[in-house]
Chain A
Amino acid sequence: MKKSLWLILACVLALSLAVSGCSNSSSSTGKEKDSDGSSAGKGEDSDYVLIYGRGGDSDSLDPAMTTEGESYNVTDSIYETLVQFGKDNTEVEAGLAEKWDISPDATKFTFHLREGVKFHDGTDFNAEAVVKNFQRWSQSKDEAKFAYYPSMFGGFEGDESHVIKEVKAVDEKTVEFTLNRPQAPFLKNLAMSPFAIASPTAFEKGEDSLAKNPVGTGPFKFVSWKPNDIIDLERNEDYWQEGLPKLAGVKFKVIKDNSARLNALIKGELDIIDGLNPSDMGKVEADKNLALYERPSLNTGYLGFNVEKEPFNKKEVRQAISHLVNKEEIIKNFFEGTAQPATNPIPPSVSGYNDAIQDREYDVEKAKELLKKAGLEKGFKMDLWAMPIARPYMPNGQKVAEALQASFKEANIDVNIVTFEWGTYLDKLRAGEASVFMVGWNGDNGDADNFLYTLLDKDTIGSNNYSRYANEEVHKLLIEAQSIADENKRNELYKKAQEIIFDDAPWVPLVHSTPMLAGSSKVQDFVPHPTGSQSFIDVSVSK
């Protein structure tokens, strides 16, 4: 009996050795292939195909028909906009338009387009193409399809609030935009990923054709898309900028789990990854083959009050609660330090940010004093709405809510934490059902208007002004700022508005988070853009 046990074990051992022998030999062939792959990149980096690892797939490659960041991450390399954002900021630079003139009353924008630009399908890029793109969006009158257009340009053609009166091709290379009224962030809006210019030949084939077969003028051309797996782009050999792009291609690979994605980066299967766990930062820093990237913040996570509800209709109560929030602790414990405390609704990277405002410090005594003023020194009970899902500006709403619950207790405020599924949560916020809630905002175009007007103007109650904050003076300032083209004058108005908002305290701004990315140290010139997506046009890989 014993003998046969040994015999079987010997067989099993032999078998497993044979198997591992197999895997060994196959792994060595695999390795050869790996080094083959990268030897293409050795010496001449221009053959290198960069692989970008991310947590989710794109939902459409037609930027006008999506609002999703993972889509822009890809389309930014395929398409280009008339004007574009700076490499690491939201200042407007020349894009497909070489230069532009603005009429004194800021209602006429004349764009002079670049010569010799062609779409990937061979169609000429010209004034006519620009006009057709704008017609496609403005005449669709379909908010379900083109969601961004009406929200950035005040509606569709024929709507009373529509900003763009006419888009006209003056000649082959000149386009003239006539506006119904001045719109200060107009250029910034044009620079947004959704308003990239696509080939009219392509979208005239059918409205949805771009979604799976994108055709733009950008540095990379679309090759293939395996859903939930990989999107493959290759260099546009006829790109209009000499010597660009530097990479032979870019592939976007989906690996859902953050740790697994980092493992794949360490193994060398990926070149850049986003969604790095803050707790893995040390691991990346310690590895000399890896580099850490920080995406500048264009978001705000905040605690909002419904100013129509008792007792939060009292300014003192809102200010008191502001004194009960220890932002530094929250950032240390729940963001692992990858965020900065927020004082204003807009992040500091946005032009017009008021850095003169001193934040309310964490001070329980002051809070109690203010509560006493409001006649609530005995404390009260409240519901605190915690976000059910992770967002860049709030990775763990539930835990932060518990921390707030503990610190509010010190001023005798009893907090009951409530939550709903995300879609329902937003519906209820919009309907004004919550009294105190956690939520946040990712900026679209890097303009102060996109935060202050969108989130805190009386016009937006019922949509994104969940606080139902209506201040006539703020409203006047914001509307005036919308119609001034002079950046400095606008900034003055926004600074004033921030002061009033700070005093009224409809929110406790919590954090501006800075998402972390990691990459191979061989990658050069990769700069994460604050808007959340960037082109790979001048990224290169050494050796």
Chain B
Amino acid sequence: MLSYTLRRISSLIPVLLGMAFIVFFMIRAIPGDPAQLILGQQATKSSIEALNKELGLDRPWHTQFLEYLGGIFQGDLGMSLKTKTPISEEIWPYLAATIELSVVAMIIAIIIGVNAGIISAWFQNSWFDYTAMVLALIGVSMPIFWLGLMEQYIVSLQWDLLPTTGRDNIRDPVEAITHLYLIDTLLNGRVDQFIEVIRHLILPGIALGTIPMAIIARMTRSSMLEVMRSDYIRTARAKGMKMFWVVYKHSLKNAMIPVVTVIGLQTGLLLGGAILTETIFGWPGIGTYIYEAISYRDYPVIQSGILVIATIFVLINLVVDLLYAAIDPRIKYK
């Protein structure tokens, strides 16, 4: 197990190197000059040249790439062209905001998605099954943009239940320590703020969680249906075991392997894919950070931001692989 984990981690290096290489050259293939975009329409030719020189963008590509790689191996993600701040310093608050949102979205997605899938499989072809699967189909194809605005309009404006945007009450901001506000508010001993942060998380959490929720529900249902037709389930029921335990204990464990895979993939996708939700809900997350960087051609931020997300994505998948063994002891890694 340990040697497997180590091997998996070391195999990350070529993957991430390849990522870095592709991203580095792809963003430079996009037309557009960072200096021009930083200085704006009013800029003169000589000021653009001066800035390019200062930023080191006038040097050959391979020199820039090698320097970038060298930096990464020393834990230096580079410096933002726009803010002139080291990326390793400024990326964490954005990442924390997105992680917090993604975790909440995934919790919502998993709790509702897995249960809806189980019940649908259990009572296959019942009205619940049909309703849930139609809803899941709608959920998969839901335009997040529209959903987010509708949530704001109905839940915030019409029902006056939850705030529309932001991570906290602007008039009573959370004092950041870890930048994960759920933790920070508790560290500060502010239960009122903790509740406020949860209230701010619900709407964007639902918006972001809807698609994974629907995918998880469909995956759980089909996986459960397969397992529930197997012999050992019939045996369990023949023994007179309560149906609830048959479903939630015996079937679920074996049905979980594909579901966990989907959950892992979806979690990774959420990190980079939260941009729409972030835009609608005024959420200062990593998607916004990279998106802004793209429109500014802030090369180092795009490179390092994508690299960080890719690393997390790969790590989540590693964890998923290791989880297989925990769920199903028949799976062994050597």
Contacts and interface: CB of A to CB of B under 8 A. Distances in A.
B68 interface: no
B51 to A, nearest CB: 3
Contacts of B156: 263, 267
A213 to B, nearest CB: 13
Contact of B199 (A26, A228, A424): A26
Given A147-B43, A229-B284, A8 B82 contact: no
A126 B45 CA distance: 36
Nearest to A256: B279
Contacts of B51: 143-144
B162 interface: yes
Nearest to B243: A4
Interface residues of A, number: 67
Contact of A260 (B53, B149, B243): B149
Interface string A4-23: 11001100100000000001
B44 A269 contact: no
Contacts of B35: 144
A426 B45 CA distance: 11
B164 A264 contact: yes
B199 A30 contact: yes
B199 A230 contact: no
A422 B173 CA distance: 37
A241 interface: no
B157 A263 contact: yes
A67 interface: yes
B128 interface: yes
A143 B292 contact: no
Interface in B281-334: 281-282, 284, 288-289, 292, 297
A147 B43 CA distance: 7
Interface stretch (B190-198, B228-236, B249-257, B263-271): B190-198
B164 A59 contact: no
Majority SS of interface residues in chain B? Answer: helix
A27 B199 contact: yes
Contact of B39 (A67, A227, A230, A421): A67
Interface stretch (A81-89, A247-255, A310-318): A247-255
Contact of B170 (A151, A251, A463): A251
Contacts of A253: 166, 170, 282
B171 A67 contact: no
B243 A144 contact: no
A525 interface: no
A263 B204 CA distance: 14
A257 B42 contact: no
Nearest to B115: A12
Interface in A435-450: 441-442, 444
Contacts of A227: 83, 90, 93-94, 284
B37 interface: yes
Contact of A67 (B40, B119, B163, B297): B40
Contacts of B289: 228
A5 B123 contact: yes
Nearest to B116: A12
Interface in A257-282: 257, 259-261, 263-264, 266-267, 269-270
Given A263-B157, A423-B37, A49 B42 contact: no
A464 B42 CA distance: 8
Interface string B174-199: 00100000000000000010011011
A322 B243 CA distance: 79
Contacts of A260: 148-149, 152, 164-165, 279-282
Interface stretch (B2-10, B15-23, B25-33, B211-219): B25-33
Contact of A27 (B161, B166, B292): B161
Contacts of B119: 5, 8
A1 interface: yes
B196 A463 contact: no
Contacts of A462: 45
Interface in A281-325: none
Nearest to A41: B171
A423 B297 contact: yes
B36 interface: yes
B43 A255 contact: no
A427 B282 contact: no
Nearest to B34: A423
A134 to B, nearest CB: 19
Nearest to A454: B42
A225 to B, nearest CB: 10
A67 B164 contact: no
B47 A30 contact: no
Contacts of B44: 143, 147, 150-151, 463
A98 interface: no
B31 A424 contact: yes
B141 interface: no
Interface of A: 1, 4-5, 8-9, 12, 23-24, 26-27, 29-31, 33-34, 37, 49, 51, 57, 59-60, 67-68, 142-144, 147-148, 150-151, 208, 211, 226-230, 232, 251, 253-257, 259-261, 263-264, 266-267, 269-270, 420-424, 426-427, 430, 441-442, 444, 462-464
17 contacts: A1-B123, A4-B244, A27-B160, A27-B162, A51-B171, A143-B50, A226-B176, A229-B282, A253-B170, A255-B282, A260-B152, A264-B164, A266-B157, A267-B156, A267-B157, A269-B163, A423-B33
The list of the 4 closest CB pairs from A to B, nearest first, reads A143-B47, A144-B51, A423-B32, A255-B282
Given A227-B93, A254-B282, 19 more contacts: A37-B169, A57-B292, A67-B42, A68-B40, A142-B54, A144-B51, A147-B43, A251-B170, A255-B165, A256-B282, A260-B279, A260-B282, A263-B152, A263-B153, A264-B165, A267-B157, A423-B32, A427-B33, A444-B42
